[in-house]
């Protein structure tokens, strides 16, 4: 690839990952991989300065101000980023450069917390406003009501100082993060990739109560502006801020490059003892007068740098390779590892993805492997330490029989993203059933609170469930369920177990009245989700007409492709499906299309909407219902056929794509106005 092409490729990639990281809280690559790309671009641009353009990711801070409805607040003091350094040599260069310009500078070394930056403004000692970084230069977003829920943010300072603005890092403790994700899993919701994303997602919640429950913390690392007080050094400001009630950054004051390096290494060595994620150390010039003299670029201060630690790597042994069977029957190999602490958590398993990955790395049971976390959270095996391979090991092969039910497992065509999938051919396989039931009960489908993975696992192992329809026959086994303590905490009092059992049974009973789009989604037909379920509900009077619909009828529906039509036809042709539907109906589960929208006369007739982001007053489901009620169609992805993109706060890649395609972007207000 020629240099200009490579530059353009890197810019495109970096902009994409910037959006994923800053706007969507959903990074796909690790900071390390991102940094490597940025460095390559910086290097190419420094060798070919004629190609530098102001829009290049090297020239501005990553995030863009969110498209949205929250109030934009002007930054009084820019919230700059930091220049990254990766080696001792680069760090020493920085120190030398400062020493050449200043007389006897002192430095401060602090841990670099991996969270998100906010600025807090205090008027007369009272917390008045809290803002996110936004674009770092011009605007951020008002998140005051959520920040008020963070215990480590004092609402009133010890002193009634006229005005103060501080900057700090909002983060989530590793332990809290693991508990939040466990709950997400229990409730069938999407898991957060890492504590940073979870903290970012939490801070943007519309409901401050959720913020309170999720227990965020903040550490203050800079005094941005102050009236009524004077300081000479950064260390002094941190001490003062601590006296005012803030939790401030730990710091070490250093003079020589040796002291700085030792302080950086000491933080790295103790990384595991911090309760939150660190991604480096920050080295800052201490004297505020010195800082003024050095100034800033448009992107970073000249008086500070971030020293980024390489991703932590550990060696451990593969004790076993287990085969997991997913809802769709896919067999996924999982390495069981000798547990090791890695980047804040204990790692004891790592997905091996597929046979191709096992072959490429030649991973065998008994091997010592090097592990690292991808995108800061997902344990990944990087390589095998071949010298440590015990004698007598053999290459690992995913079996051609399902480990759970013993049926044959077949290799399917290679998927671009997932490699070759090997699937169990038995749709009644108990492993598939566990995941299917969890999906059936999830919020997106039948929404049965309390029927999460743990309860389902127990119900299956004790023989209460043999297929989906058994859920609706649990009522008659109430006493057995209580005796076997299926619900609630282990060792709970019998009265509590009765209560939680009744709660679950009531949730099951309540779900019987659901509209059939939820039921269709819950059945787990491949390629049929929420939107397709809705389409089917709106096109047929009941489940039995759907079951009897021909391929031709299905494909004739607007929005139904060949794959989903075939999947629906195949699914309903199975005798097992007929049996399950009959039992569900007998148990009283609704089989009629209820809130049908066949009103093609509606104002949105012929229009396709895509929804993205958080809307100010309605949920996305409510908005979809409103659109469909008026004859519109709701689709999951943006394409040339999209008529409107209904965008709320935190709109991400769909918004960018829609803008690129010139699709009309509307707000919730616009939608409501169109209906008046």
Residue 164's φ and ψ, nearest 5 degrees, are -155, 135
Shortest reach from residue 196's CB to ligand IVH, in Å: 10
CB of 82 or CB of 456, closer to ligand IVH: 82
Binding mask 241-270 for ligand IVH (x = CB under 6 A): --------x---------------------
Q: Which stretch binds ligand IVH (CB under 6 A): 77-85, 88-96, 378-386, 418-426?
A: 77-85
- Residue 30 CA to residue 33 CA, distance in Å, equals 5
Shortest reach from residue 147's CB to ligand IVH, in Å: 15
Binding mask 79-118 for ligand IVH (x = CB under 6 A): -xxx---------------------------x-xx---x-
Residues 524-583 that bind ligand IVH (CB under 6 A): none
Shortest reach from residue 93's CB to ligand IVH, in Å: 19
Residues 273-312 that bind ligand IVH (CB under 6 A): 282, 301, 304, 306
What are the DSSP calls for 35-79, one per residue?
Answer: HHHHHHHHHHHHH-GGG--TTSTTSS-S--PPPSSSPEEE-SS--
CB of 251 or CB of 396, closer to ligand IVH: 251
CB of 277 or CB of 358, closer to ligand IVH: 277
According to DSSP, the β-strands at 304-308 and 83-85 are: parallel
Q: Of the residues 112, 284, 308, 373, which is catalytic?
A: 112
According to DSSP, the β-strands at 633-635 and 644-647 are: unpaired
Residues 216-235 that bind ligand IVH (CB under 6 A): 221-222
CB of 102 or CB of 557, closer to ligand IVH: 102
Q: How many residues bind ligand IVH (CB under 6 A)?
A: 15
112 is catalytic: yes
- Residue 164 CA to residue 664 CA, distance in Å, equals 42
Give every CB contact of residue 339 below 8 A, 6+ residues apart in sequence. 316, 346, 347, 348
Angle formed by the axes of helices 257-269 and 88-101, to 10°? 140
Shortest reach from residue 61's CB to ligand IVH, in Å: 8
What are the DSSP calls for 108-164, one per residue?
Answer: EEEEEE-SEEEEEEEETTEEEEEEE-TTSSSEEEB-HHHHTT-TTS-SB-SS--SEE
Shortest reach from residue 233's CB to ligand IVH, in Å: 15
Closest CA to 237 of 300, 306, 168: 168
- Residue 525 CA to residue 432 CA, distance in Å, equals 12
* Three-class SS state of 510: helix
Shortest reach from residue 277's CB to ligand IVH, in Å: 10
Binding mask 164-183 for ligand IVH (x = CB under 6 A): -----x--------------
Angle formed by the axes of helices 3-18 and 31-47, to 10°? 140
For 588-617, give the secondary structure using H, E and C.
CCCCECCCCCCCCCCCCCCCEEEEECECCC
- Dihedral sign, Cα of residue 349, residue 351, residue 352, residue 354: positive
CB of 200 or CB of 436, closer to ligand IVH: 200
- Closest CB to ligand IVH: residue number: 117
CB of 263 or CB of 304, closer to ligand IVH: 304
- Is position 120 an interface residue for ligand IVH (rule: CB under 6 A)? no
Shortest reach from residue 384's CB to ligand IVH, in Å: 34
Shortest reach from residue 38's CB to ligand IVH, in Å: 12
What are the DSSP calls for 537-576, one per residue?
Answer: HHH-SBHHHHHH--HHHHHTSTT--HHHHHHHHHHHHSHH
Q: DSSP letter at 578?
A: H
Q: Which stretch binds ligand IVH (CB under 6 A): 78-86, 260-268, 341-349, 456-464?
A: 78-86
CB of 267 or CB of 523, closer to ligand IVH: 267
Residue 67's φ and ψ, nearest 5 degrees, are -75, 125
Positions marked catalytic = 112
Which positions lie near ligand IVH, rule CB under 6 A? Answer: 80-82, 110, 112-113, 117, 169, 221-222, 249, 282, 301, 304, 306
């Amino acid at each position: 690839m020629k240099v200009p092409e490579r530059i353009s490729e890197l810019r495109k990639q970096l902009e994409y990952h910037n959006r994923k990281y800053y706007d969507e809280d959903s990074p796909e690559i690790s900071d390390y991989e991102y940094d490597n790309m940025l460095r390559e671009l910086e290097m190419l641009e420094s060798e070919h300065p004629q190609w530098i353009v102001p829009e290049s990711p090297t020239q501005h801070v990553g995030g863009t101000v969110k498209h949205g409805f929250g109030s934009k607040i002007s930054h009084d003091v820019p919230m700059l980023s930091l220049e990254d350094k990766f080696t001792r040599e680069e760090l020493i260069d920085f120190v030398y450069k400062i020493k050449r310009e200043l007389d006897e500078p002192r430095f401060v070394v602090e841990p670099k917390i991996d969270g998100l930056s906010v600025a807090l403004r205090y008027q007369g000692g009272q917390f008045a406003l809290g803002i996110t970084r936004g674009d770092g230069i011009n605007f951020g977003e008002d998140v005051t009501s959520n920040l008020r829920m963070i215990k480590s943010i004092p609402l009133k300072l010890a002193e009634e100082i006229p005005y103060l603005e501080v900057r700090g890092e909002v983060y989530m403790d590793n332990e809290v993060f693991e508990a939040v994700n466990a709950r997400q899993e229990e409730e069938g919701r999407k898991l957060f990739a890492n504590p940073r994303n979870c903290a970012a997602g939490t801070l943007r919640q519309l409901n401050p109560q959720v913020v309170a429950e999720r227990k965020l913390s903040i550490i203050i690392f800079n005094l941005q502006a102050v009236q009524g007080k004077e300081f000479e050094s950064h260390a002094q400001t941190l001490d003062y801020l601590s006296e005012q009630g803030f939790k401030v950054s730990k710091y070490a004051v250093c003079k020589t490059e040796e002291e700085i390096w030792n302080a950086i290494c000491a933080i790295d060595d103790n990384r595991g003892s911090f309760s939150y994620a660190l991604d480096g150390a920050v080295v800052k010039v201490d004297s505020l007068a010195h800082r003024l003299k050095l100034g800033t670029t448009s992107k970073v201060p000249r008086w500070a740098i971030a020293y980024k630690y390489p991703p932590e790597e550990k060696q451990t042994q593969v004790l076993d390779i287990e085969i997991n069977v997913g809802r769709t029957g896919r067999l996924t190999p999982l390495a069981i590892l000798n547990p090791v602490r890695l980047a804040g958590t204990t790692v004891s398993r790592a997905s091996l993805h597929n046979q191709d990955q096992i072959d490429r790395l030649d991973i065998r049971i008994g091997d010592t492997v090097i592990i690292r976390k991808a995108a800061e959270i997902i344990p990944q095996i990087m390589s095998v330490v071949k010298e440590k391979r015990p004698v007598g090991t053999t290459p690992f092969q995913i079996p051609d029989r399902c480990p759970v039910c013993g049926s044959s497992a077949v290799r399917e065509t290679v998927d671009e993203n997932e490699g070759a999938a090997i699937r169990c051919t038995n749709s009644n396989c108990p492993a598939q059933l566990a995941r299917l039931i969890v999906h059936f009960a999830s919020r997106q489908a039948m929404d049965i609170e309390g029927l999460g993975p743990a309860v389902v696992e127990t119900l299956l192992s004790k023989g209460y469930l043999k297929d989906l329809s058994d859920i609706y026959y649990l009522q008659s086994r109430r006493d057995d369920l209580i005796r076997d303590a299926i619900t609630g905490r282990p060792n709970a009092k019998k009265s509590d177990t009765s209560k939680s059992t009744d709660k679950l049974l009531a949730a099951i009973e309540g779900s019987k009245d659901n509209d059939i789009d939820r039921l269709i989604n819950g059945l787990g037909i491949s390629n049929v989700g929420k939107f397709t379920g809705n389409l089917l509900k709106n096109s047929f009077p009941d489940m039995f007409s759907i079951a009897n619909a021909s391929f031709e009828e299905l494909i004739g529906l607007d929005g139904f492709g060949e794959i989903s039509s075939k999947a629906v036809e195949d699914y309903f042709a199975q005798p097992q499906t007929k049996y399950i539907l009959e039992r569900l109906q007998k148990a009283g589960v609704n089989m009629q299309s209820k809130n049908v929208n066949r009103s093609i006369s509606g104002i949105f007739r012929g229009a396709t909407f895509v929804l993205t982001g958080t809307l100010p007053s309605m949920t996305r489901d409510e908005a979809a219902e409103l659109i469909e009620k008026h004859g519109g169609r709701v689709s999951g992805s943006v394409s040339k056929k999209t008529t409107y993109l209904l965008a709320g706060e935190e709109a991400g890649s769909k918004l960018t794509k829609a803008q690129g395609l010139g699709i009309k972007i509307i707000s919730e207000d616009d939608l409501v106005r169109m209906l008046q």
